Structure 1
Amino acid sequence: MPERAPLLRTLVALAVTLVAGAALLFGAPARSGPVPPLSVGAAWPTVQRGSIPSHLPDGGTYTPGLFFDARTSAGTVRSADNRFLRLIVLESDGKAAPTVRELRRVPSADRGPFSAPARSGDTLVWVETVKSRPQLWTADLTADGSARMLTDDVGALRLYDSQYDLTVTDGTVRWAAAAGDGTEFRSVPVGGGRVTVQREAGDWGLSAWPWAVDGQTAATGASTLRNLATGVDVAVPTGRRAVTACSPAWCEIVSLNSEGDTRIELSHPDGSARRVVAEGTVGTVISDVAVLDRFQVIGRTGPQSELSGNQELLVHDLTDRSTVLVSPDAADISYRGGVLWWSTGDRNSYVRNSLDLRTV
């Protein structure tokens, strides 16, 4: 019945016209599902970014431990022949060869990489481990760069890969150490001197001074914030089926939703302003909560994650509740002192990328 073909085409065209007209009158149908994350360029067009190579021109492998800004960092270099470890300050614009300033060089035998770096102004402090015994060192970044040991009386040092593992405030370096069933909060002047010890019962770690948070090894995480200067305690939100971590400003509560997916919520320590910031195949990827009291750093696995071992790197901005896709394929995610960094590529050839969240 070939005579029906023109009629059918006419009816189809009429239907398309009616649908188009309805869209003009009533608007397009609303999209369902979560709002896709913004790109860094769209969300933060002026944020400072940087990149550094995994290997220096001499073949040494570089691992940053602390960024001063998006282009300047301090970290460990392992020589190509594996004989030496160096602590350097590196400046790189991602184009020309990086500028390297050496602060310290030691034989790599019986030593771990320089760790837990912290900075206050022109003072840099870090931990060196020699035959499994940690020492605390410092250097003045404005002087000749010569390093000196502050103390080897550090106790059973606790390191949680947090920006608060070492803190430098008011000319004093502070850290936490295990002590039987309690915790020692130790401190020493930046200029050197006697180590002071403050003992507290329980399992505590340092947060933004003068605060400490408990539950460092507890299955459900934190339950209390304590002001070490005043002794005042603040109870924080907890749950039998959740893991809680806190800063003085925000608490992170990680649990499973009714579908078995991960849910990440944030609230103030008093339980107020509680909101869901991420849900699904998500997880926390750094130790610190709501950095700069504004940004929650999140990882999300996708179909390729099992093959690559990498994940999407997301940052949730608490000021406007937006989520930004920082990298679709990130590994080795770290954060300290306002700068977020991660690697892209594979184990043989990769680049460290940095984002200074202080410039958002």
Structure 2
Amino acid sequence: MPERGHLMRTLVALAVTLVAGAALLFGAPAQSGSPQPLSVAAAWPRAQRGSVPSHLPDGSLYTPGLFFDARTSAGTARTADTKFLRLVVVEPDRPVRELRRVPSADRSPFTALTGSGDTLVWVETVKGKPELWTGDRAGRTPARLLTADVGALRLYDSEYDLTLTDGLVRWAAADRDGTEFRSVPVGGGPVTTQRAAGDWGLSAWPWAVDGQTAATGASTLRNLDTGQTVAVPTGRRSVTACSPAWCELVSINEDGDTRIELSHPDGSARRTIAEGTVGTVISDVVVLDRFEVMGRVGPQSELSGNQELLLHDLTDRSTVLVSPDAADISYRAGVLWWSTGDRNSYVRNSLDLRTV
């Protein structure tokens, strides 16, 4: 079955597609009388922003997988002859730094990058079998295999696919009877496994959330340290996703538009934050316990196929327009990034939400 993030995007895609099609026939939908979102510059003038070109100086296509700040990132690039994949660090005014190089023939790109300080951890796949690797982002020491004992690794394009806390790398893997929560010391050592019935994924440690393959999404949060469980809001006509602090409920309203609601996991503080041609665009819910990341069909969508990128700020219940024409939207560890331009010529832009 498809993962929860995919299900949520599928739920809203129909409404977005219908409105976009109408815009092609009749022009862009008229804006309502509600105030239009502020720009990032107007709302958060001190926020740190950056951009990364689509190609490195040697001409190779670069795909960032993790930003350390608005201008420094780690990601994947092929060699000019396409025979190798490289994990590289890109930062302003410094040469591109290569951390790892592997043959393209039997490897997948480096995925699920996470880190703490100068320590990076990532997934490499060798002939269909994933491995965990670690390295020093400054390149002082060579990258090394952390473990090949990862089980049936579950990746949901979430910042919690791999977590690095208290000196342990943690992840979730599928099991015949449910889910394995696995961990390994970042310095190396044996893998420890904790099992649970159901389809679970990791959230902010020590929490896990169920419903990863359920049509209606999450129904329970569980503290893996204490065993405490919290039932979360659900509905027959909505898809629920949760973090320990907030739950996101996406549904179709009576007018056929998408409605996005937020509440605490106990159901309190429930409110509608957006309706219309909107949808969720990342897997994680209310990042930094403050920002809900959304996309919306805008005036340029019918031409570009892209969407407006919006942030709803729970501190003052305002919505900010990050980009009027965004594609390839991603988020990790406090930094949001997206592409502008077309497939032949584009730039990846970044916003460090920790500096807002």
Give the alignment's TM-score, normalised by structure 2. Answer: 0.89
The corresponding residue for 1:119 is 115
The corresponding residue for 2:335 is 339
The corresponding residue for 2:264 is 268
Is 1:134 matched up with 2:108? no
Retained in 2: the 8 A contact 1:59–1:79? Answer: no
Partner deviation per Cα, 1:151-190 (whole Å, 9 max, x = no partner): 0000000000000000000000000000013000000000
- Return the alpha-carbon distance in structure 1 between the equivalents of residues 137 and 291 of structure 2: 29
- Return the alpha-carbon distance in structure 1 between the equivalents of residues 157 and 34 of structure 2: 32
- Return the alpha-carbon distance in structure 2 between the equivalents of residues 143 and 335 of structure 1: 24
The corresponding residue for 1:215 is 211
Q: How does 1:19-30 map to 2 (within 5 A)?
A: none
The SS at the match of 1:33 is coil
Distance 1:142 1:88, change over 3 A: closer
Retained in 1: the 8 A contact 2:54–2:62? Answer: yes
- Return the alpha-carbon distance in structure 1 between the equivalents of residues 185 and 32 of structure 2: 57
Retained in 2: the 8 A contact 1:290–1:297? Answer: yes
| Structure 1 residue 142: Cα displacement | 4.7
The SS at the match of 1:45 is coil
Q: Looking at CA atoms only, which structure, 1 or 2, has the larger radius of gyration?
A: 1
- Return the alpha-carbon distance in structure 1 between the equivalents of residues 139 and 70 of structure 2: 22
**What are the ranges of 5 or more consecutive residues in structure 2 without an aligned counterpart?**
1-30
The corresponding residue for 1:51 is 51
Q: State the AA in 1 paired with 2:44.
A: W
| Structure 1 residue 249: Cα displacement | 0.3
Retained in 2: the 8 A contact 1:103–1:145? Answer: no
- Return the alpha-carbon distance in structure 1 between the equivalents of residues 299 and 35 of structure 2: 19
Out of 318, 339, 343, the position equivalent to 2:314 is 318
The SS at the match of 1:99 is coil
The corresponding residue for 1:26 is none
The SS at the match of 1:112 is strand
| Structure 1 residue 207: Cα displacement | 0.2
Out of 189, 195, 200, the position equivalent to 1:193 is 189
Q: State the AA in 2 paired with 1:188.
A: V
Retained in 2: the 8 A contact 1:183–1:202? Answer: yes
Retained in 1: the 8 A contact 2:298–2:324? Answer: no
Retained in 2: the 8 A contact 1:51–1:353? Answer: yes
- Return the alpha-carbon distance in structure 1 between the equivalents of residues 81 and 313 of structure 2: 44
- Return the alpha-carbon distance in structure 1 between the equivalents of residues 299 and 256 of structure 2: 18
The corresponding residue for 1:75 is 75
Q: State the AA in 2 paired with 1:293.
A: D
The corresponding residue for 2:7 is none
**What are the ranges of 5 or more consecutive residues in structure 1 without an aligned counterpart?**
1-30
| Structure 1 residue 258: Cα displacement | 1.2
The corresponding residue for 2:15 is none
Partner deviation per Cα, 1:33-84 (whole Å, 9 max, x = no partner): 2221000111000000000101011111100000000000010012232111
The SS at the match of 1:42 is helix
- Return the alpha-carbon distance in structure 2 between the equivalents of residues 286 and 264 of structure 1: 14
Q: RMSD of the alignment, in Å?
A: 1.3
The corresponding residue for 2:152 is 156
| Structure 1 residue 344: Cα displacement | 0.5
Is 1:305 matched up with 2:301? yes
Distance 1:112 1:291, change over 3 A: same
| Structure 1 residue 302: Cα displacement | 2.7
Retained in 2: the 8 A contact 1:61–1:80? Answer: no
The SS at the match of 1:41 is helix
| Structure 1 residue 306: Cα displacement | 4.1
Q: Which has the higher contact order (CA 8 A, sep 6+)?
A: 2
Out of 90, 103, 107, the position equivalent to 1:107 is 103
The corresponding residue for 2:235 is 239
Give the alignment's TM-score, normalised by structure 1. Answer: 0.88
Out of 219, 224, 231, the position equivalent to 2:220 is 224
- Return the alpha-carbon distance in structure 2 between the equivalents of residues 151 and 65 of structure 1: 21
| Structure 1 residue 32: Cα displacement | 6.8
Count residues in correspondence.
326
- Return the alpha-carbon distance in structure 2 between the equivalents of residues 33 and 203 of structure 1: 43
Runs ≥4 residues deviating over 3 A: none
Distance 1:314 1:145, change over 3 A: farther
Retained in 1: the 8 A contact 2:338–2:350? Answer: yes
The corresponding residue for 1:19 is none
Q: State the AA in 2 paired with 1:75.
A: G
- Return the alpha-carbon distance in structure 1 between the equivalents of residues 207 and 152 of structure 2: 20
Q: State the AA in 2 paired with 1:83.
A: K
The SS at the match of 2:107 is coil
- Return the alpha-carbon distance in structure 1 between the equivalents of residues 137 and 78 of structure 2: 21
